[in-house]
Structure 1
Amino acid sequence: MANVLIVGCGDLGCRLGTKLAESGHSVYGLRRQADLIPEPIQAIQANLSVPITNLPDKLDYVYYIVSAGKYKDPAYYQAYVLGVKNTLQALKSQKIKRFFFVSSTSVFGQEDGEFVNELSPTIENGGFSTKRLLEGETLVNESRFPSTIIRFGGIYGPGRTHLIDLVMEGKVHCMEGVWSNRIHTEDCVGILNHLFELNEADANQVDDLYIGVDDTPTLSCEVYDWLAEQLSVPDVEHIEPKESSRQMRSNKRLSNARVRASGYDFIYPSYEDGYRELI
């Protein structure tokens, strides 16, 4: 059995940690409000913006699943750069089998509906959020530990029903011709657990980068219209995008072929599967 540390043990981390613990592994969850971490995860209170001194010994795996508290550069720097530096420093004497870093598909900047996979280029001159995510990825990849980056698309699921709420309240419109990509919470946890099990079986089977999205990149208006129909509310307004709005909005079709090829089977392969259950 393995000793696993989950740094940033929020919603995804607690779901993953519970799953791993139920499989017999020793799981430690680190977050600022340690009292929010449920058993059987062993809680560790720590602030990632300062040196970390209370990690357990003999850790085998680390998951870094941190979110920035605000959409501001200082918050992103603390979450994805300083927090990573302090975590790696605290682990310097340990022999970690693999360091998993949860990132975002927002680092891909394609705007014209292109098909995107792990070999596609990231944004060269993006905003602060992209810059900090890529800095964090680089820190992890350049550390002495074997590492894997997982870039998730738009996450939805229990407690993440923002789009449903907006459609229900008639407070949303959609932009014609814009592709969107998403993944259910349970599949995020499923992928993270799957890669752990794959590494335990044979570390050479695990790649250094995966895109985490479901099988169906979909035009945003199609998703909104389907939700409105399911919720029995008026149709969502469609608008024609201006060139300036296109440049501000990601528009790409992400491939999950690599994670599929690794042997992972999706619980919710399409938005209909996932949202129907939530509704």
Structure 2
Amino acid sequence: MAKILIAGCGDIGCQLGSLFSEQGHTTYGLRRNIEPIPDTITPIQADLSTSLPELPKDLDYVFYIASAGKYKDSAYYQAYVSGVKHTLQALKGQTIKRIFFISSSSVFGQSEGEKVDENSPTTDSNFSTKRLLEGEELILNSDFNSTVIRFGGIYGPGRTHLIDLVQDGKAHCMEDVWSNRIHSEDCAGMLAHLMNLDIQQPNTLDSLYIGVDNQPSPSCEVYDWLAEQLCVPDVEHIEPKESSRQMRSNKRLSNARIRGTGYEFIYPSYQDGYQKILDALE
């Protein structure tokens, strides 16, 4: 069984650690506030933005799942650059088999509905993508085997912002703009799958995976479907605006590489995932 560190043990980290515990692995979860960490994960109270305390010895795998608390450059720098540096420094001398770094599909700059895979070019046109790419580079150029996972829009229990907007009549969507999503359970499931695959077939993983479900979908289709399920009026459709964040995210992401490893999605489409949430809300 493996010894695993989850640096930045938030929602997805706790789900992932719980999966590992069920599989018999020993898991440590590092975060500032350790109260939310379940009993099956050994907590480590520390702040990634500062020098870290001594970490457990003989770790096999590390998952770096930090998030920026605010949408500002200093927060992104602390989460994805200085936090990575502090983690790598604290891991010196250990023989880690692989580090997994959780990034974002926002680093892909395509915005005209293009099909995108792991070989598509990225852009550092704003501070958030610049810091994410800096963190990726630090991990990939470290002394450890490493893999980067770029997740699309994450939704799931506790991540119901879109449902709330549609329910409250505050949502609008842009015509002909594509969106890409992944349920938080599949985020954890995909990460656990990759680690277990590395255990079974050491050093065969690629250095980069896109994490989205099987169904890139026009944003308006998703909004309209939610409105129908919630029995509320149709969502307002508006013309695309170049300055919109939705427009900047207009691309169709491929998950062919992760599916090629044998991973089967728990929620292969947004309908599958959102229906589970809606049922639970009832």
Equivalent position of 2:28 in the other structure: 28
Equivalent position of 2:195 in the other structure: 196
Letter in 2 for 1:119: N
Equivalent position of 1:157 in the other structure: 156
Q: Is the 8 A contact 2:242 2:248 kept in 1?
A: no
- CA apart distance, 1:245: 3.7
1:197-254 deviation line (CA, Å, top 9, x unaligned)? 1000012331100000000000000000000000000000000113444896221000
What stretches of structure 1 of length at least 5 have no aligned partner? none
Q: Is the 8 A contact 2:179 2:216 kept in 1?
A: yes
Q: Distance in 1 between matches of 2:113 and 2:218?
A: 9
- CA apart distance, 1:53: 2.0
Equivalent position of 1:99 in the other structure: 99
- CA apart distance, 1:22: 1.4
Q: Distance in 1 between matches of 2:246 and 2:171?
A: 20
Equivalent position of 1:14 in the other structure: 14
Equivalent position of 1:141 in the other structure: 140
Q: In structure 2, do the counterparts of structure 1 residues 42 and 246 end up closer, same or farther at CA, with 3 Å as the change threshold?
A: closer
Percent of aligned pairs with the same residue?
69
Q: Distance in 1 between matches of 2:242 and 2:229?
A: 32
Q: Distance in 2 between matches of 1:245 and 1:7?
A: 33
Q: In structure 2, do the counterparts of structure 1 residues 76 and 246 end up closer, same or farther at CA, with 3 Å as the change threshold?
A: closer
Q: Distance in 2 between matches of 1:253 and 1:138?
A: 24
Q: How many residues align?
A: 278
Q: In structure 2, do the counterparts of structure 1 residues 246 and 55 end up closer, same or farther at CA, with 3 Å as the change threshold?
A: closer
Equivalent position of 1:127 in the other structure: 126
- CA apart distance, 1:36: 2.1
Q: Distance in 1 between matches of 2:249 and 2:229?
A: 26
Q: Does the residue aligned with 1:29 lie in a helix, a strand or coil? A: strand
Q: In structure 2, do the counterparts of structure 1 residues 221 and 248 end up closer, same or farther at CA, with 3 Å as the change threshold?
A: closer
- CA apart distance, 1:54: 2.6
Superposition TM-score, scaled by structure 1 size: 0.97
Q: Distance in 1 between matches of 2:68 and 2:163?
A: 23
Q: Is the 8 A contact 1:111 1:246 kept in 2?
A: no
1:25-54 deviation line (CA, Å, top 9, x unaligned)? 110000001222111100001011111123
Aligned positions of 1:104-123 closer than 5 A = 104-123=104-123
Equivalent position of 2:253 in the other structure: 254
Letter in 1 for 2:54: N
- CA apart distance, 1:102: 0.4
Which moves more between the two structures, 185-194 or 46-55? 46-55
What stretches of structure 2 of length at least 5 have no aligned partner? none
Equivalent position of 2:236 in the other structure: 237
Q: Is the 8 A contact 1:33 1:45 kept in 2?
A: yes
Q: Distance in 2 between matches of 1:245 and 1:208?
A: 31
1:159-218 deviation line (CA, Å, top 9, x unaligned)? 111100000000110001100000011111110000011000012331100000000000
Equivalent position of 1:221 in the other structure: 220
Q: Distance in 2 between matches of 1:143 and 1:246?
A: 33
Q: Does the residue aligned with 2:147 lie in a helix, a strand or coil? A: strand
